[in-house]
Amino acid sequence: MHSTNLATAPLHQANYAPKTFDLSKITLREFNQALHEVKDAAAESNWEVLNPKGSHAVAVGAEHAISIDVQGSVGYYCGGMNQNSTITVHGSAGPGVGENMMSGTIIVKGDASQYAGATGRGGLLVIEGNASSRCGISMKGINIVVRGNIGHMSAFMAQSGNLVVLGDAGDALGDSIYEARLFVRGSVKSLGADCIKKEMRPEHIAILKDLLDRAGISDVKPEEFSRYGSARTLYNFNIDNADAY
């Protein structure tokens, strides 16, 4: 299985100065526009954003294999729709970090607010602190690794992908979940409708081992996690429930 430690491995050679964008001097639009004008990603792979001060939509729509270091905390939707880029937030992220990301990697060194990785279709989102409520809501193939805890209603209607939590999960984990896999190392305050604990088989240990390695986490073992997923009882309409509609 492919196994690259994206969180800790330097992806770019630091033998030249990064392209620096100071958001106290330029507009966010100028920076986000520059992300689309990359001609040769390999030749300009090292980007840096200064003074984000909680700005919204930082590095939304990045599409090239470049590395973007955001020096500070960001607001809503950082890294939304990301493709190929590796975005590192050296601070905390507001609501919707990595929303609908397609590929690439987003690493949040601090905490993430609600609905981190919502509707994400691919790539890896690593949150080194805690994630708030609705983490991975409606996830559709993204992999999310949270070093701390996650809040209530996480993985609500999650469809595919993996959510890995080293700490605890809040109320109603995996409510109305489809086929996503949820791995929690700590406690789960409560499970949502149709979400159940499942056995850990060798293939799940392998998936977890790969994700932990790619997230740069070496101090916990895959065997310490429990797996949760869909009981699949909500997949088909049950005539006995007709009165509820």
Partner 1 sequence: MCGIVGLFLKDKSLEPQLGALLSEMLVTMTDRGPDSAGIAIYGGGNKGHAKVTIQSANPDTDFKGLDAELGKKIGAKVSSTVKSTHAVLDVPTEKVAEARAALAELRPNVRIMGAGEAIEIYKEVGLPIEVVKRFDVASMGGSHGIGHTRMATESAVTTLGAHPFSTGPDQCLVHNGSLSNHNNLRRELIRDGMRFETENDTEVAAAYLSSKIAHGQNLGEALESSLNDLDGFFTFVVGTKNGFGVVRDPISCKPAVMAETDQYVAFGSEYRALANLPGIEDAKVWEPEPSTVYFWEH
**Residue ranges in contact with partner 1 by CB under 8 A:** 53-55, 73, 75-76, 92, 94-95, 110-111, 113-114, 132-133, 151-153
State the nearest-atom distance from the C-beta of 210 to partner 1, in Å: 30
Nearer to partner 1, 105 or 133 (CB): 133
Of 95, 92, 94, 41, whose CA–CA distance to 68 is shortest? 41
Kindly state the tokens that stand for 4: 């690259």
The Cα 168–Cα 165 span in angstroms is 7
State the nearest-atom distance from the C-beta of 63 to partner 1, in Å: 26
Nearer to partner 1, 105 or 114 (CB): 114
Nearer to partner 1, 6 or 89 (CB): 89
Nearer to partner 1, 38 or 153 (CB): 153
State the nearest-atom distance from the C-beta of 115 to partner 1, in Å: 9
For residue 118, is it left (φ>0), alpha (ψ between -120 and 50) or beta?
beta
The Cα 31–Cα 70 span in angstroms is 12
State the nearest-atom distance from the C-beta of 133 to partner 1, in Å: 6
